[in-house]
Chains A and B, each alone.
Chain A
Amino acid sequence: MTDRNEGKSAQGTQMSRREALKLGLAAGVGLTVFGMNARIVFADEGQVLKVAHPAFDQDWSPLRGGGRPFRWNSIWWASPMYFDSEGKIKPYVFTSWDSPDNKVWTFKIDPKAVFSDGSKITSADVKGSWEVASMPNTKSQRADQVLSKVQGYKEISGGSGNELTGVATPDEGTVVVTLTEVDPIFFMRLANHIAPITKAAQSRGSDGEEVADWYKPDSKPVFSGPFKLTSLDIDAGKLVFEPNENFFGPKPKLARIEITSVEDNVTATSLINSGEFNAHTELVTSTIIQDLGPEFSSGPLIPTSQHFWFNVTRAPMDDPKVRQALIMAIDRDGLFKASYPDGPHKKADQILNSVPGADNSGFEPYPYDPAAAKKLLAESSYGGPERLPKILFVGISAPAIEAAAQFIAEQWRQNLGITAVDMKPQQDSYAGPDQNAVQIFRDDVGTRVPDAVSYLAGCIASTSSNAQNKLGGYKNEKVDAALAEAATKASDDPQRIKLAQDAQKAFRDDWAFIPWYSQAMSRWATKEVKGMEKNLDWQVVAPWDISVG
């Protein structure tokens, strides 16, 4: 009691302990109860497409040409042409395309094509959009795929120029493109949203670089697609799109599209199950059919496939007999069932799928023959399973992939006696202590055009990233020669397809991959959502046709 009185008198008019505690408690409760940003959330009704987006993306620039935001480019941007769900090319901003020599291409712009403010889409906008997409600082992830053969691209993308010298604009309705080499399918390469057509005066600054935040509503941008971005809360991960009243194509059916970041798959599945969301950007789980029904992920096969690639330069994959033994020891029907028992994908026997030449390609599927596999392993330079180094997989990053990899490891244990197998989720950036011992990379390969040569050039040609990085600098003269010759043939020339098939057959003899599955382009939308068909570029084919209910 004495202490307390002395304390009080010493403090005089200062705050007492009791008062300080009360104040602290009140402040805590106040901040907690009357927290900022408090608001009541009302449910939206009507024709509203509510999309769960699997990443907390902070960058939605349509010029990035990749990443998950790219999947929604077609709702707010127009492309030169587009592929429909059956792989047929359709006019969009460009109404015609022509090239007598497959090197100089002339494109005509639809005179009715306008931006959301009613101004015309001109050839200068096309040229400027392609140029800004090519600038290195724009960090477009796929500009190479579309524009790499255009004169001036190499300089602009390498940082030594800022103009595509091969693109001429003789009048506001004509674009003339000169390539560095013959490319009979150049017009097909343009039929996507990798380098969407923007109003160049808004997206590109006087220095040639992309203007920061130009596409955000605060910057008052104009759009070329059926919807316009009306609200963007990047910190909360929420975007709202509303119809573009001046869209030059069909009138959109939806009143609004809301995209919200939902990173967790369990949460996203719950939200879709409960009817709070009705679409997803990319939801891949091994129980997706059971969770959300077959309609949710149904869709046509696209020219993309998933496989396990062998690094042929690393032990023990440097011995062809080991590679052959490892492939023949796997029951690939079982491998597919272990990962996607109910679809939506389809077991793959070769690389090519959904492109002309994929059927009857002459690629004989690898056999399942455990006895022959065991014999081959015994005949290899390693003499059997005991002397094999540990086999390391990378890219084992999702439940379905884990199931497949575990199945492979189990088959090797049962059929070959191999027990030293390890798996890591990391893929290209793997930098663990065993980095130089990674022998198998799980990854997809594919193409954005319905063309067998383009498909194989991106994965088995020695110049491809897949051959260089996953297959360990793989090079087969027969493969390279066949694909190089095929690339000069017209898209409808039977020789183009025949040469691609020959290249794939030559690759088969090198036993460098375990075929896994051909990918279906899922709708990723509930059955109430209509018009969600996607094209080879992962885009909604006709976003103006999407409707709910």
Chain B
Amino acid sequence: MLRYVLTRFAIWIPSVLIVMLAVYALAFYGAGDPIKLIFLRAPGDVAYNPQRIEAIRESAGLNKPFIEQFGFYIWNLLHGQFGNSLTSGRSVWAMVSAAAPVSFQLALCSIVLTAVVAIPLGMIAALNQNTRLDYTILGSALFLWAIPAYVAGPLLMVALIVLLPMIKVPYGWGGVLDVRILLPLIVLSFQPIALIVRQTRAAVIEVLSEDFVRTARAKGVPEIIVALRHILRPVLTPVVTQLGLIMITIVNGAIFVELVFGLPGLGRLTVQALTNSDYPVILAITLIGSFLVMASNLLVDVLYPLLDPRANDARRSR
């Protein structure tokens, strides 16, 4: 297992280097000069002085050739230094390490909520295939799937708070025990829930026709036991795979959710860094995002044999 994890990590490093080179090139040659933006973004009659801009750029080492700057960045990265933000001058590491736990907790909560809500709903739909209950669950899932987070957030905000003043505006971060987390979490979980409901339903329907289910039922095993012991376990393998893959959906959705609900996570930091063309921050977030996706996929691979012994056997035989 250790060798497997190390191999995956070794493959990840060159992939990330290529991604970072591409991101660095896009930031370097693309639209938006971070130093000019500091001046141009200020409302009012700001007339920046080109000589002053050059002095700032030189001081920050931004007038050096592309490859030299990138090489310097990677060298620093290998020494554990992410550099400083070009806009605020703050340590990128400090910014990222403050934001990452918020996003991490949010993502984890979203995955747990998705699993807790979507797997039972998918099973109920499958066990009541082609009934009104099935259609309702499936239809609702399709409806949720069609609403992106950046639409759901403001819509719920207006509906629940402005039109029907039912709750206080859930703004800001007070940890996952804070009641304000509920609305953003629901919005963030819309699409993952829809996806997992459909995935679970399809998988359960497939398992229902298996011999071991028929046998269990023929032996008079109670339906609830059949569902939880005989059907759920084989179904979990593809569902857990999907739960790992929806990390990307959650990361994307978090950008809007964090903005709308004022959660100081990586999504909010990303928007700020992109707006300012602050590429040391953009690169650090890219690195973390890439690591998160790799780690979630790795976790899924590691969980496979735990959920389905056949996967372990297959790996041993290789």
Contact = CB atoms under 8 A, between A and B. Distances in A.
B6 interface: no
Most buried by B among A37, A262, A274, A431: A37
Interface string A13-28: 0000100110010001
B211 interface: no
B32 to A, nearest CB: 5
Contacts of A444: 43-45
Contact of B51 (A41, A158, A274): A158
A36 B260 contact: no
B44 A66 contact: yes
Interface string B77-119: 0000000010111100001001101100100110110000000
B112 A266 contact: no
Interface in B35-66: 35-49, 51-52, 55-56, 58-59
Interface residues on B, range: 35 or more
B179 to A, nearest CB: 9
A473 interface: no
B162 A56 contact: no
Contacts of B309: 3-4, 7, 17
B40 A137 contact: no
A267 to B, nearest CB: 6
Contacts of B43: 282, 444
A59 B85 CA distance: 10
B168 A274 contact: yes
Contact of A158 (B45, B55, B85, B306): B55
A39 B178 contact: yes
B176 interface: yes
A429 B40 contact: yes
B52 A270 contact: no
B221 interface: no
Q: Is the interface of B mostly helix, strand, loop or mixed?
A: helix
Interface residues on A, range: 35 or more
B262 interface: yes
B41 A67 contact: yes
A3 B174 CA distance: 48
Contacts of B111: 28
Given A32-B176, A141-B38, A17 B306 contact: yes
B46 A66 contact: yes
Given A29-B112, A38-B178, A59 B42 contact: no
A137 B31 contact: no
Contacts of B153: 264
B137 interface: no
A538 B153 CA distance: 32
Interface of B: 30-33, 35-49, 51-52, 55-56, 58-59, 85, 87-90, 95, 98-99, 101-102, 105, 108-109, 111-112, 153-154, 157-158, 161-162, 165, 168-169, 171-178, 180, 259-262, 264, 268-269, 271-272, 277, 303, 305-307, 309, 312
Interface of A: 3-4, 7, 17, 20-21, 24, 28-29, 31-41, 55-59, 66-67, 70, 136-137, 139, 141-142, 144-145, 157-159, 212, 234-237, 260-264, 266-267, 269-271, 273-274, 276, 282, 304, 426-432, 444-448, 458-459, 464-466, 538
9 pairs of A and B residues whose beta carbons are closest in the complex: A38-B175, A66-B42, A35-B176, A431-B31, A159-B55, A235-B98, A465-B47, A58-B88, A136-B55
